[in-house]
Amino acid sequence: MTKLRVYELAKELGISSKKLIETLEDLDVVVKNHMSTIDDDIAKLVTELIEEESGKSNKKKAAQASDDKKAEPADKEEKKVLTAKNEKAEDKQKTITVPSKISVKDLGALLGIEPVKIIKRLMNYGLMVNINAEIDFESAKKIANEFDVDIVEEKQDNEEFMLEEVDDPKDLKPRPPVVTVMGHVDHGKTSLLDAIRQTNVTQQEAGGITQHIGASEVEVNGKKIVFLDTPGHEAFTAMRARGAKVTDIAILVVAADDGVMPQTVEALNHAKAADIPIIVAINKIDKPNANPERIKQQLSDYGLIPEEWGGDTIFVNVSAKARIGIEQLLEMILLVAEMQELKANYNCRARGVIIEAKLDKGRGPIATVLVQRGTLKLGDGIVAGTAYGKVRALFDSHGKRIKSAGPSTPVEVLGLSEVPTAGDILLAVSSEKEAKSISDERKNLQKEPEYDTPQRISLDKLFEKMQKGEVKDLNLIVKADTQGSVEAIKQALEKCSNDQVQVKIIHGGVGAITESDVMLASASNAIIIGFNVRPDPNAKKMAEKEQIDIRTYRIIYDVVDDIQAAMEGMLEPEYEEVVQGRAEVRTLFKVPSVGTVAGCFVTDGKITRNSQIRVIRQGIVIHEGKIASLKRFKDDVREVASGYECGIALERFNDIKEQDILEAFVVRQVKE
């Protein structure tokens, strides 16, 4: 296509070449004279601008000709623009509210700037847009700021959906309880869930194949109970960390022949932190060495006191294997549920939680949703995180097609645009279009760095938050090398409570700081205290992502001192520790006059001659000190990088064992 010359375009537009050259200059497009050629896209842009301008002047003329000077503008958009303009004129306000998307034309009108100037600025950012093109809020803000106007984003109606809606008590009807099974490894969580499901299958649909959708429903005496299929407190707390409250009752499974174990304590603390009732299922009572009384005794130390001893915790003896006590356990669940008076509104737009989600080759994204409120129906517009769509099909926990699902019903939902994340909230909205606009909005927000940055508690910010009255409880998780240290620290810290803040140890345990601890801290807004223990690498990564404050100590006095200082606003962290790398001890050499040399493999980062070394054995710190020698083959070296072997001897420490982890770190001053 031949390029247009200035005079040709001017002729087409019915304006003088001079006027066209001026307009081009406004756009910083330099042309020599009327014979110069213009690029197609520039020609298009200028044409739109000129046409827009002449259209405006025609309108103006028409308005002047009109008798009714107070006539309402016909177009609603225009009305909005005019209103804003008037307000601007009245109070000369420099902050203007604009929608999340706005056309160049409307932005110009709001800012009182000619659209051509906006187009020019956008061209500077490499954006070639026409006058009717919509630009996002961020771009609009940049432009406005260049004209010394600040703009704020109009609050979207969508946000309303994120708020907790309050139901009128008269709209509430009972709903089934949702139960999670927790407990120590191998104590029988999966077996118990299977036993419960099978008891029910035989009663209801013998021979029927129950589909696994992430949650199952059983019916006892005509009443439903929903079980989440993924046992364990990790999944439960992961959901909670994402803000999803799913479970009404926790079943704590303890093997009668094994007793209370570390994960039993972890599970019960996770359930307690979530403030949900616990029913204890003492499992494996078919075993000859089963000792249920011992378990009651052990659990009473953790505040779970059986009813027969004057407490309020229900204990049921069961055997998942021999199918003993299953029905009684189910009845007890119903009893606890009844006491909780679980209710929900069935007649409103649905809100649920994604329990599981996957991509099915044939059917696209499939999500298991636990409906918590309202009724989810075929054809509803839905949004979960940034996934959106329309309910194309619903399947119940038996794999049967259904048309709608009310509160406490797990359903498989087809029709989402992408696979959502477990823990995401699913909302039903009026249409797929609305769902898409909410999803777009969220995608925009995600681009902003502040989004997703939760306001976490940290020791540094504690005092500030206390002053603002934002903190009433200081939740702490204590991990230490021995149970004795856990208890000592717990007692010492709880005494730190004052009038403003109560120090609460929501979980204490022996061993390294794990992902599960970080998740609990995230769900309960807690700080983690490690005493002679370290976070494992995954926990460390997760803590960084979730912005969880982990403090590690080697002297109890320092722990108490720091917490007290933080509560008094006196905490001044001056030094920080930077971990450089880790090496694994693969073999040992006893060298006369040197001592023990550890043959190591550097697994990540690097080890330098000046590093301090922390010896970690099974997650517990057993020594901290300096390097006496760092060698590769026979040579002394200054540093060894990841992927290489080396020999390390430590100053004044010979008790190294194979498989120990040597963590290299340096301590440096924190910059103000």
Specify the residue, 13 or 235, whose C-beta has the smaller distance to ligand GTP: 235
Contact in structure between 660 and 648 (CB atoms under 8 Å): no
Distances (CA, A) of 661 to 356, 537, 583, 625, 664: 36, 12, 6, 14, 10
233 touches ligand GTP (CB under 6 A): no
Specify the residue, 231 or 423, whose C-beta has the smaller distance to ligand GTP: 231
Q: Mark residues 347-386: x for contact with ligand GTP by CB under 6 A, - for none.
A: ----------------------------------------
Instruction: Check whether 229 is labelled as a binding-site residue.
Output: yes
B/e letters for 4-41, b = 16+ CB within 10 Å, e = fewer, are bbbbbbbeebebebeebbebbeebebebeebebebeee
Instruction: Check whether 61 is labelled as a binding-site residue.
Output: no
Cβ atoms within 10 A of the Cβ of 360, count? 11
Report the C-alpha gap between 181 and 333 in whole angstroms: 12
Specify the residue, 191 or 216, whose C-beta has the smaller distance to ligand GTP: 191
Task: Tokens for 157, please give them.
Answer: 């109606």
283 touches ligand GTP (CB under 6 A): yes
Specify the residue, 182 or 414, whose C-beta has the smaller distance to ligand GTP: 182
Q: Report the nearest approach of ligand GTP to the CB of residue 262 (Å).
A: 13
Determine which residue in the list 186, 470, 576, 658 makes contact with ligand GTP, applying CB under 6 A.
186
Q: Report the nearest approach of ligand GTP to the CB of residue 331 (Å).
A: 18
Determine which residue in the list 10, 131, 320, 512 makes contact with ligand GTP, applying CB under 6 A.
320
Contact in structure between 276 and 250 (CB atoms under 8 Å): yes
Q: Report the nearest approach of ligand GTP to the CB of residue 284 (Å).
A: 4
Sequential DSSP letters for 159-226:
HHHHSPPPPPGGGEEE---EEEEEESTTSSHHHHHHHHHHHHHHHHSTTPPPP-SSEEEEEETTEEEE
Sequence-ordered list of residues with C-beta below 8 angstroms from that of 452, at least 6 positions apart, any chain = 446
Sequence-ordered list of residues with C-beta below 8 angstroms from that of 385, at least 6 positions apart, any chain = 354, 420, 421, 424, 439, 442
Place of tokens 């606009």: 437
Report the C-alpha gap between 86 and 78 in whole angstroms: 12
Residue 174 class from Cβ within 10 Å (0-12 exposed, 13-18 middle, 19+ buried)? middle
Instruction: Check whether 562 is labelled as a binding-site residue.
Output: no
Determine which residue in the list 185, 335, 570, 591 makes contact with ligand GTP, applying CB under 6 A.
185
Q: Report the nearest approach of ligand GTP to the CB of residue 319 (Å).
A: 4
Instruction: Check whether 284 is labelled as a binding-site residue.
Output: yes
Specify the residue, 105 or 284, whose C-beta has the smaller distance to ligand GTP: 284
Specify the residue, 320 or 427, whose C-beta has the smaller distance to ligand GTP: 320
Q: Report the nearest approach of ligand GTP to the CB of residue 199 (Å).
A: 13
Instruction: Check whether 310 is labelled as a binding-site residue.
Output: no
Q: Report the nearest approach of ligand GTP to the CB of residue 106 (Å).
A: 58
Contact in structure between 581 and 602 (CB atoms under 8 Å): yes
Determine which residue in the list 105, 187, 240, 479 makes contact with ligand GTP, applying CB under 6 A.
187
Query: What is the DSSP secondary structure assignment for residue 15, as one 8-state letter?
Result: S
321 touches ligand GTP (CB under 6 A): yes
Instruction: Check whether 186 is labelled as a binding-site residue.
Output: yes
Determine which residue in the list 180, 191, 345, 524 makes contact with ligand GTP, applying CB under 6 A.
191
Q: Report the nearest approach of ligand GTP to the CB of residue 181 (Å).
A: 8
Q: Which stretch binds ligand GTP (CB under 6 A): 44-52, 92-100, 183-191, 572-580?
A: 183-191
Sequential DSSP letters for 73-115:
PSSHHHHHHHHHHHHHHHH--SEEEE-SEEEHHHHHHHHT--H
Report the C-alpha gap between 174 and 179 in whole angstroms: 16
Contact in structure between 248 and 152 (CB atoms under 8 Å): no
Q: Which stretch binds ligand GTP (CB under 6 A): 302-310, 314-322, 504-512, 604-612?
A: 314-322
Altogether, the residues listed in the chain come to a count of 672
Q: Report the nearest approach of ligand GTP to the CB of residue 567 (Å).
A: 39
**569 dihedral zone (left: phi>0; alpha: psi -120 to 50; beta):** left
Query: What is the DSSP secondary structure assignment for residue 252, as one 8-state letter?
Result: E
Instruction: Check whether 283 is labelled as a binding-site residue.
Output: yes
Place of tokens 């229900």: 314
Instruction: Check whether 262 is labelled as a binding-site residue.
Output: no
Instruction: Check whether 212 is labelled as a binding-site residue.
Output: no
With contacts defined by CB under 6 A, how many residues of the chain interact with ligand GTP?
16
Q: Which stretch binds ligand GTP (CB under 6 A): 39-47, 283-291, 533-541, 616-624?
A: 283-291
Interface residues toward ligand GTP, by CB under 6 A? 183, 185-191, 231, 283-284, 286-287, 319-321
Known binding-site residues for GTP equal: 183-190, 229-233, 283-286
Known binding residues: 183-190, 229-233, 283-286
